[in-house]
Amino acid sequence: MNKNGNKSDELEVEVDLSEAHYQLLSSAFEELSDNIQSEIQQGLREERDYRLSRYNQNLLMPIPKHLLVKAKHSLKKFAVDIDVAQQYQVEDVSEKKRFNYTTQSQVILSAFDVKNVDLASGRLMVELSAGRAVVMDAYSFDLWLNPELWGKLNYRLLRFKRLLFKNPHCKVKLSYDNGVSEYCNARIEEIQYTLGLNDRVRLRLISPEFDLGFKVVFEDIPTEYESTVVEMECLFDVSSFRQTELFDVTATKEPLFATNIVPLFNLYESYSSAQKLDEKYDKIPLLNPEDPNAKAISVKQVWVNNNLYKEYYNHTVSEYVFHKHVGKLTYYPKNLTESLKQSKKVFAKVLWTQNISHGNFLRVSSNALAASNIRYDLISSKSEIGINSFRYINRVVQIFRTFSDLDIREQDGFLIALKFLCGEEYVDLYRRFKLAIDRIQYNRVANELNIYIKQAGNLAFVGHVAEIVSEFFYVNSPQSIEIKMCVNC
């Protein structure tokens, strides 16, 4: 009623909002529940990834961009030794980008170029000429099966190298400018990359051209060492080789061998910028103060408040752990109360790569040699290979922990390990291997893994890949096994 005692023209309606409130609250709680569940799952995934990264860093195997170049120069000495981690500057001429590359192996450049390769009476002779008389001041040099032949001979080159290493002893004939010649005993040795063991295994799989080199090391000191050398011959005993194995690689017109090949990697060492650490900053980003494109690939050492943190290498007690998959350090304080009392600044000595790509029109330079007329010709350029997916890491860790169901001696275990090594970038290599083989069987009596190949033309390829998978297991487990190839048997 109104003040006059009459009923109001407006209807007084009592509205029940309980149903609307229920729907609203229900939707809010459902959304909150989904968010909490999503955050928990994400947190569990991150924790799993960090745990795997902490205890299985050796399985991540990122490979930076890498190049093979040939140095062309005129040395006055027999050979020049280039140290590991020697800096090289690489410029992408088209994009005007600059990259930092380094050697990750000892490189011994030689004054000699390959002049001729001859096969006669069970001996393989590699003739080398300096073009001028040079001082004999070194007793080793690098010799490569020519990586420029990879597109033509591919895995047959690696098979030929394995055959050479069955008898690592050879002879070197030196011809001096005084007309005297003499023979010296020598041996061949593998080139050792300073990458991690698993990184080296993966490099051999995805970039086999980088596995074609070796060192020729003199076992005798030449008696005419005061004279200067004009020509040289390396003599390898190949009398035990099959004729088909020799003909496959020696029939080519281009030189089978090469000198002065330099493998380079987009890796360089410098310090990260200092980061302040507090109770909320448990994941420490590693940033390069001079290069915004730099990405941390490994940590050499850690400093806290300008003091060297000596426990870094002992992961059982270290408070700092590097995680490759995010490029960060994680801080696990032993005593949280004590750690909050003191302000900390953390920096590290880091091995970096650059998170940008380049083309193949490159200009390479270095101060490794004082010679002003040196130039580098590009032979091979390979892109960066990323970190493996953690779903593969889970499976491979399972292989290493339990050698029951998934084992290298079983076909499934062998193929899973190969797929993990290939990663997403080289899945075609994995498929090629699967298509090339008929089956894999383990002979328990002989402790041999028999790989049955469908066609003889795939022998070199399958043999190389199988050797790498076997080495991968040997590096990461106590298991060692012999590989045997069977063609149409």
Taking 70 as the threshold, does the pLDDT of residue 259 lie above it? yes
- Please compute the mean of the pLDDT values over residues 337-345 and round it to a whole number: 75
pLDDT, residue 246, reads 81
Question: Which pLDDT score is estimated for 121?
Answer: 75
pLDDT at 286 over 70: yes
Which tens digit of pLDDT belongs to each residue from 314-336?
767 888 989 888 888 888 887 76
* Higher per-residue pLDDT: 481 or 336: 481
Compute the mean pLDDT over every residue in the chain, rounded to the nearest whole number: 86
* pLDDT for the residue numbered 146: 97
Quick one: pLDDT at residue 398? 62
pTM attached to this predicted model: 0.86
Query: How do residues 157-195 score in pLDDT, each as one tens digit?
Result: 999 999 999 999 999 999 999 889 999 999 999 999 999
Q: Is the pLDDT of residue 402 over 60?
A: no
pLDDT in tens, 107-160: 999 999 999 999 877 889 999 999 889 998 889 999 999 999 999 999 999 999
Domain at 390-487, CATH from 1.10.3470, 1.10.1740, 3.55.50, 3.30.300: 3.30.300
Least confident of 279-283, 466-470, 474-478: 279-283
pLDDT at position 11: 46
pLDDT band at 15 (very low <50, low <70, confident <90, very high): very low
Q: Of 287 and 3, which is predicted with more confidence?
A: 287
Instruction: Write down the domain spans for the chain.
Output: 57-61+267-354, 66-266+358-382, 390-487
Query: Which pLDDT does position 17 carry in this prediction?
Result: 53
3 state SS for the chain: CCCCCCCCCCCCCCCCCHHHHHHHHHHHHHHHHHHHHHHHHHHHHHHHHHHHHHHCHHHCCCECCEEEEEEECCCCECEEEECCCCEEEEEECCCCEEEEEECCCCEEEECCEEEEEEEECCEEEEEEEEEEEEECCCCEEEEEECHHHHHHHCHHHHHHHHHHCCCCEEEEEEEECCCCEEEEEEEEEECCCCCCHHHHHHHHHHCHHHHCEEEEEECCCCCCCCCEEEEEEEEEECCCCCHHHHHHHHCCCCCCEECCEEEEECCEEEECCCEEECCCCCEEECCCCCCCCEEEEEEEEEEECCEECCCCCCCCCCCEEEECCCCEEEECCCCHHHHHHCCEEEEEEEEEEECCCCCCCEEEECCCCCCCCCEEEEEEEECCECCCCHHHHHHHHHHHHCCCCCCCCCHHHHHHHHHHHHCCCCHHHHHHHHHHEEEEEEECCCCEEEEEECCHHHHHHHHHHHHHHHHHHHHHCCCCCEEEEEECC
pLDDT at 323: 85
* pLDDT bucket at 247, cuts 50 / 70 / 90: confident
Please state, for a pLDDT cut of 90, what percent of the chain lies above it.
52
pLDDT of 13 over the 80 cut: no
Confidence at residue 90, expressed as pLDDT on a 0 to 100 scale = 97
